[in-house]
Chain A
Amino acid sequence: MIEQDLLDDVLAVALSRGADFAEVFAEDVRRGSVSLDDGRIESLASSRDRGAGIRVVAGESTGFAHTADLSPRGLRAAAEAAAAAVKGGTATPTKVSGIATTPGRVLQAPEDVAKATKVNLLRRAEEVARAADQAITQVSARYADTRRRILVANSEGVLAGDDQTKTLFSVSCVATGDTGLQTGHETVGLSIGFELFDRYDVEALAVRAAERALTKLKAIPAPSGTLPVVIGPGSGGVLFHEACGHGLEADLVRKGASAFANRLGEQVASPLVTLIDDGTMAEEWGQFAIDDEGALARRNVLIENGVLVDYLWDGMRARQEGRAPSGNGRRMSYRHLPMVRMTNTYLAGGQTDPDDIIASVDHGVYVARLGGGQVNTASGDFVFGMVEAYLIEDGKLTAPLREGQLIGNGPRVLQLIEAVGNDFEMGPPGTCGKDGQGVPVGDGVPTLKVAELTIGGTAA
């Protein structure tokens, strides 16, 4: 994207007014998508984004400028603007040299696949979903791919690059019945190419989305109140991402905006809990070779057998603490500053048979799929939507439940985990938002039992 000599030159400009650290982050992203709705391929969209962000750090202050102009003139102007924003520091640039990285393996690059083939995937999904039942009245589906090439060079001599391909497919159905309109979704996405569709059959995904919508037609209103909750494998990982993971991000910890600040070495969770963030998990949505500061992706254990062992770090926070970065410095695009972000975050599997976990509950709720949520990282309070849930009565799953919310407090839920299943799964691909920046993440859990959570349903 940018010649090595020019990178050295731009970094020298960035440090010319005095600073401790300078960095060039360049990015070239192509996206393609196809959407089907209302019985029709509505539109195909393509986009291209290319540019660079230049960061200059002096002490605790950061100057940042970005530009879509990758010419020597454009890059120097951005470097000067970033340099002018900070004062102090005496770093001298080290000539950049490459570090070895291994980008994810792509068997079939989406850009080489005919658009007609992508269109056909959506048509097949729609046909099958509509045929599933007369009650399926609406189907929409979406295909999207991204190829993101990045380059990071900094005044400490780092020069690294990555080539990140992701492919995603989703289908939604609306079923119409006596209880009104009910929706069912299915989404798959991996950090691989079009070979995603060798792994997943779009027709099977469409049938599953249709079945979810049809099941909900028979659903009863979710109860309200405090009940034991069993969370099924996969999508429940989002709860630990939101309610615990964010609180372990070093930038929030440092500002006292985390419920986990000053608690290293403490028993913060049930001994059954081991929480891991792993950017190296092959093919998962939050996987990469290097983070957006040029650090290699790593597997980081955060909570081990209930004890808090580490936080997540970006380069800036790691330098302040005199430790190695953990590969969690990420940014939404070249237009954004990096900060501490999760990658693939999951609760490790345990020993218990999931059937035994359900059988241990007399009266409670089984959440098969958890939807989006919101968390206050400072207090740890969270709210999550239950997308697919069932009543548990006398140790058995009974009636499907309509949508409702799970409310609780992250640190307290960690203490209340009573059983962890042996059926670990990753959930669907996610986008994590923080301070207005969205980045792709993965998460996962095995079946697990929380002694009590508040359910906000609509049952009288």
Chain B
Amino acid sequence: MRPDDLLALARRVVDQARPGEEIEVACSYGDSRSIRVYDGEVESLTSADNTGIGVRVLIDGREGFASAGSLDDDVVADMLAEARDNAQFAEADPYVGIARPDGVTAVDVELWRDGVNSVSMDDKIALALELERRVRAASPAVTGVRVAGYSDSAGAFALASTAGIEVATEATSASVSVQALAVDGARTQTGYAYDGARDPRDLDLDKVVRRAVAHAVEMIGASKPATATVELVLDPHLAATVVGLVAGTLTGDRVLKGRSPFVNRVGELVASPALTVADDATDPASLGADSHDGEGLATRRVPLVVDGVLQGFLHDSYTGRRSGAGSTGSAVRGTRGLPGPGIHALHIDAGTSGDLEELIARTDLGVLVFSLAGLHSGVNAVSGDFSVGVEGRMIRNGQLAEPISECTVGSTLQRLLLDISAVGSDLTHLPNGVSTPSLKIGGVTLSGASA
């Protein structure tokens, strides 16, 4: 199904709106492939068509929603009826509604690459097999590969509404991932890495092999460190994780409900003056780039923190109306759920502190973080309390030292931002759509064995 066919389908549902009703229909169609290899053989090969439709109906400020995994006429008709019925039971809110066109012109970002279709299945399988082979061959300490895989998808998305919004886009994506194992006496250390691109030919296996192998092999012999106050050195992947946690608390819904540590703090210094953060889906270099948000409004660059000062929040049309700030084009959604404000393509400006090696070299006592565990349970997005498990290597006098595990770092999201002591100059576009340099955060409590 082409984007225009999808849009026509969405329009047919919207055209059934009764007087006084607002309707928004989002639908998607795509095909995907997924290859998993193990021990030099294809373990599984999946091919699939994926469809979805979500129907939002508003009657007098009351919202109902229904979704389905089929675009068959009978199912689509059922969903419209069900969404209407659901709206009867919701309570009215004057700010609830679909997005209204706001005059912002959408950027032209090309999200489709032909490689997903033109590269043969055999070549894709060969890519996954090569990834596994290279990880196994990279070091005698690698004792196995739990899974190596390749997957890609090509799909179209369309949205139409009674407010006159009509959007149809198409996009491709491809990724590889691998988990290396390194048996270490009675324990097994693991290293996971992945890469993503719009075209399979742009995937960088070298990078993936290096990271997966290093994280497994360098963890051999890991022990629990003594409790201490340390600097955390975060490569771009980990910097994206930590800043992403903060950005997740800057959404309009959290702020309006008082569930963010940053409520009422716009204009204040909330971070190191070295930190500038924006959400920018208009940047074609980011894999999170998109011309439109989940309600069909044009995406735009949304400054969040400039030189450490909080600028504002991420809004969809509902939180934009309710707060008076207006939508920032930040609605995110699948077709199977209601839109809500969120992050598209987080961007942290490069600083002046050099690359990861330089950050390490200028650290007296620190931890180079390989992974953070328990982010879901260990980060309270309301209070900002932060206590998560950490694995990585100690840094002593500018040198990488012993690997550590079974320890935690504790702080708050608020303090982590203020304690950023260096922003690297190694801006990296990550496969998850975040663009960020390495970061260093000072004065963090590492809890391990009692001193």
Contacts and interface: CB of A to CB of B under 8 A. Distances in A.
Interface of A: 34, 37-38, 40-51, 59-69, 81-82, 85-86, 115-116, 119, 137-138, 174, 180-183, 224-226, 252, 255-259, 335, 337, 371-374, 376, 378-385, 387, 402-405, 407-409, 435, 454-458
Interface in B49-96: 49-51, 63-70, 75, 78-79, 82-83, 85-91, 93
B325 to A, nearest CB: 18
Main secondary structure of the interface of A (DSSP, over half): strand
Interface of B: 38-39, 41-51, 63-70, 75, 78-79, 82-83, 85-91, 93, 143-144, 146-147, 179, 181, 183, 186-190, 224, 227, 256-259, 336-338, 373-378, 380, 382-383, 385, 387-389, 391, 405-411, 445, 447-450
A456 B50 contact: no
Nearest to A179: B383
Contacts of B82: 46
A402 B89 contact: no
B103 to A, nearest CB: 28
Given A50-B70, A402-B385, A226 B450 contact: yes
Nearest to A42: B90
Nearest to B375: A374
Contact of B69 (A51, A137, A403): A51
A115 B85 contact: yes
A256 B144 CA distance: 7
Contacts of B48: 65-67, 335
Contact of B45 (A61, A224, A383): A61
B69 A48 contact: yes
A64 B45 contact: yes
B90 A183 contact: no
B406 A458 contact: no
Nearest to B190: A378
B144 A40 contact: no
B22 to A, nearest CB: 14
Contacts of A376: 190, 373
A256 B179 CA distance: 12
Contact of B64 (A43, A180, A456): A43
A43 B90 CA distance: 5
Contacts of A382: 373
A41 B448 contact: no
Contacts of B50: 335
A68 B377 contact: no
Contacts of B449: 225-226
Given A256-B183, A374-B389, A174 B45 contact: no
A337 B147 CA distance: 15
A378 B447 CA distance: 23
Given A405-B389, A454-B407, A383 B374 contact: yes
Nearest to B256: A38
13 contacts: A41-B90, A43-B65, A46-B79, A68-B51, A85-B47, A259-B187, A335-B48, A372-B376, A381-B405, A404-B410, A457-B387, A457-B410, A458-B411
